[in-house]
Structure 1
């Protein structure tokens, strides 16, 4: 690990792995299956768009890659964290489709980890990009909400 805050990455992957726990669905309905599929597709599209925009500069750790430029266009105009948002939306679709209470509990922890990770990450971005990042943050939400630096 490069930084103390990288434990958030480990927590993220542990929670995502726990979402794969086997078991029978407790609920199911055609409308839920369609909704879950739509959420999954939207989440996947957001994550792929974010990864594609970052290209070779993507890293799993909290701190950005050295010398990576600040991304503010494309999907990054909508949210400062399209990959995290995509993971949240897509995994919510997965949990709805799987229909299990314990997966809902695990999923409820995922936003806590990813939002914390985004807040820590923005400190690194402020250090790297200063006022450019501050201006970007003032007009672009952290996920779907939360413009500015907190």
Structure 2
């Protein structure tokens, strides 16, 4: 089992932790619930839109053989729309769950997806070379301002 496999297992475990059943332990202000709901919906939508161009999704960091480098759509905003969407959605859901376990799981998922994105970038440079390096130079890893050359 290599580092990529460990990250895939950790990602699945963290997602399960966010979804794990259990009762709420505190009240949630309406405004916080609205923000969490928006984060969950927007994150889920971004993850789905990010997944749409891929005909063969894989949880592994290395793209499937013959997969193209996608740089348009959601990938023009962030190099990792699926990871950003999963993270935002998980945090929204974790807040709505109103107990510590899902919040801890969302934090773990954030760390796992951050590590996974860095490992994945190395694989993408190996596969796509200068095309990926150029794309990475103009597109943020997460959401935010584009880098200036």
TM-score (normalizing by structure 2): 0.90
2:44 is aligned with 1:44 = yes
Q: How far off is 1:4 after superposition?
A: 4.2
Q: How far off is 1:36 after superposition?
A: 1.4
Q: Which runs of 5+ in 2 are unaligned?
A: none
Query: 1:72 aligns to what?
Result: 71
Aligned pairs, how many? 146
Query: 2:139 aligns to what?
Result: 140
2:80 is aligned with 1:62 = no
Query: 1:105 aligns to what?
Result: 104
Q: How far off is 1:57 after superposition?
A: 2.9
2:25 is aligned with 1:20 = no
Q: Which runs of 5+ in 1 are unaligned?
A: none
Kept in 1: contact 2:46–2:81 (CA 8 A): yes
TM-score (normalizing by structure 1): 0.90
- The 3 A distance-change label for structure 1 pair 4 and 103 is closer
Kept in 2: contact 1:27–1:100 (CA 8 A): no
Kept in 2: contact 1:38–1:93 (CA 8 A): yes
Kept in 1: contact 2:17–2:101 (CA 8 A): no
Q: How far off is 1:9 after superposition?
A: 0.8
Residues 18-58 of structure 1, C-alpha deviation per residue, up to 9 Å, x if partnerless? 1122222222222222111111111011001011022x132
Structure 1 distance, partners of 2:97, 2:125, is 39
RMSD: 1.8
Q: How far off is 1:6 after superposition?
A: 2.0
Q: Does 42-51 or 104-113 show the bigger shift?
A: 104-113
Q: How far off is 1:146 after superposition?
A: 9.5
Kept in 1: contact 2:36–2:96 (CA 8 A): yes
